[in-house]
Amino acid sequence: MRIGIYGGSFNPVHNGHIHLAETAVTEFGLDRLYLLPSKRSPHRSMAEYAPDEDRLEMLRLASSHNDRLFVSDYEIKSDRVSYTIYTVEYFRQQFPADELFLLVGSDMLLSFDTWFRFEDILAAVTLCVVSREQGDIPELKRKADELRKFGDILISEAAPTVISSTEVRKKIAKNKDFSCYLDENVVQYIRSKGLYSVRGEGKLQYNPDDKKKYLKAHLSAKRYAHSLNVAAECRKLAEKYGEDPDKAYFAGLIHDICKELPDDEQKALVLESGYTVCREELDTRSLWHGIAGAYFAKKEFGVEDIDILNSIRFHTVGRAGMSRLEEIVYMGDLISAERDYKDVDKMRKLAYADLNAAMREAFAFSMKSVIKKGGVIPICTAEGYNFYTRLTRAEKK
């Protein structure tokens, strides 16, 4: 077999990494390609570097669709410095009769002759280089010619997908949208785990006073009271679960901002928003206000925080892998002070005891209500129920 090795921090693994891996499998005819996340440096902060097990799991999620991609924990579990030669020697022991290929990005080739025991690496593997920047092929070929006296080097000329893990982490930390750079399962995992978020640094300020004036003028007294109750509940849940209380209060306060707009205005905002909307949402009038409200908050109030916008967007239907703030607004809306449905007190108690378990019950409650009314369950709601069911089962194990 032709066995490939591809190491890196994968912090987090993004579409560029997977593109590079799949390009290598195709271009170099690999039967297997092992992706190896490196061990986290002890001086790295948790906001900068995700835990080893989380990076492994994100790699598994991102590569699960390709049966030639495998994830190895060798470097993470190794007790010594992760020099590449040690990894090569390990795989040579595992696959003594197979061809080994070491995959590197173009930036690594240019400094390859500074690596520890690089001559031994080239004697043991075929070095495979995939471009990471536009227009760097001529420089790569020149460097490869210099190094070929030590071993075989192959260069792929496939067009690169240029993405930076550093920039992705910055977007996450600043609550900017990062979903287009990562596999959707990795996005959900990051949100559910709260990875790469920065707590207490550059804390955003939310002034709800002017929004209260707007809400009081545009909502009925009953809806305005509900909004205040949800905001208060969100603040308490945020304090319980380590989120920013002011931010949670603000998101809860404006979650229903478009609830009482005329139907045609709500529908127009939904269509103008550009959000991906499933058929069930588009066909159900009572679900429009979440989508419309997120877009309205962005367009009219200048809200750019993606976490707040998503909290408004999904407070009616939910979804798999919600962020902690999304969960708080979803639950805050369900258990606010004026709610009086059967078993609401049990739901309130569970929300403050185990938020993941409460989310599962909340999705079940929502789906039962839809079925009772003869409606159709939105796909994102069903996915949310399945997600939190699996999550709570895993926690029990």
Distant-in-sequence contacts of 173-179, Cβ < 8 A, 24+ apart:
173/47, 173/197, 173/198, 175/305, 175/306, 175/307, 175/308, 176/304, 176/306, 177/306
Q: In whole angstroms, give the CA distance from residue 26 to residue 40.
A: 30
Which regions of the chain carry the CATH code 1.10.3210.10?
206-396
144 alpha-carbon distance from chain centroid: 36
Count of positions (residues) in the chain: 397
Architecture of domain 2-181: 3-Layer(aba) Sandwich (3.40)
Question: How confident is the model at residue 272, as a pLDDT?
Answer: 92
Which regions of the chain carry the CATH code 3.40.50.620?
2-181
Catalogue the E-assigned strands of 202-245: none
Query: 10-25 burial, b for 16+ CB within 10 Å, e for fewer?
Result: bbbbbbbbbbbbbbbb
Question: How confident is the model at residue 201, as a pLDDT?
Answer: 37
Question: How confident is the model at residue 387, as a pLDDT?
Answer: 92
Q: In whole angstroms, give the CA distance from residue 367 to residue 377.
A: 6
Beta bridge partners of 7: 36
Give the torsion sign (CA, 283, 285, 291, 295).
positive
214 alpha-carbon distance from chain centroid: 33
Q: Name the pTM for this structure.
A: 0.57
Residue 36's SS3 state is strand
Task: Using the structure block, give the residue that is written with the tokens 């004697």.
Answer: 123
Could you tell me which residues come within 8 angstroms of residue 269 by beta carbon, excluding any fewer than 6 positions away?
258, 261, 288, 291, 292, 295, 296
Q: In whole angstroms, give the CA distance from residue 151 to residue 123.
A: 5
Q: How far is CA 68 from CA 75, 182, 230, in A?
A: 20, 19, 48
Nearest Cα to Cα of residue 164 among 301, 11, 20: 11
Question: How confident is the model at residue 235, as a pLDDT?
Answer: 96
Do residues 252 and 234 lie in contact, with contact meaning Cβ atoms separated by under 8 Å? yes
Listing DSSP states for 73-106 in one string gives -HHHH-SS---HHHHHHHHHHH-TTSEEEEEEEH
Q: How far is CA 167 from CA 37, 120, 164, 235, 384, in A?
A: 19, 34, 5, 30, 28
Q: In whole angstroms, give the CA distance from residue 380 to residue 99.
A: 45
Strands of 2-8's sheet in order across? 69-71, 32-37, 2-8, 99-105, 126-130, 153-156
Question: How confident is the model at residue 200, as a pLDDT?
Answer: 37
Fold held by 206-396: Hypothetical protein af1432 (1.10.3210)
Nearest Cα to Cα of residue 25 among 175, 112, 154, 206: 154
Could you tell me which residues come within 8 angstroms of residue 175 by beta carbon, excluding any fewer than 6 positions away?
305, 306, 307, 308
| Burial of 98: CB neighbours in 10 Å, binned 0-12, 13-18, 19+ | middle
Q: In whole angstroms, give the CA distance from residue 14 to residue 4.
A: 19
Could you tell me which residues come within 8 angstroms of residue 255 by beta carbon, excluding any fewer than 6 positions away?
227, 230, 290, 293, 311, 312, 315, 329, 333
How does pLDDT run along the chain (397 residues), one tens digit per residue?
999 999 999 999 999 999 999 999 999 999 999 999 988 654 444 556 788 899 999 999 999 999 999 999 999 998 777 789 999 999 999 999 999 999 998 878 888 988 999 999 999 999 999 876 667 788 889 999 999 999 999 998 877 777 888 888 888 877 777 888 999 899 888 887 878 874 433 344 466 887 898 899 999 999 999 999 999 999 999 999 988 899 999 999 999 999 999 999 999 999 999 888 888 898 999 999 999 999 999 888 888 888 899 999 999 999 998 999 999 999 999 999 999 999 999 999 999 999 999 999 999 999 999 999 898 999 999 999 999 999 888 877 6
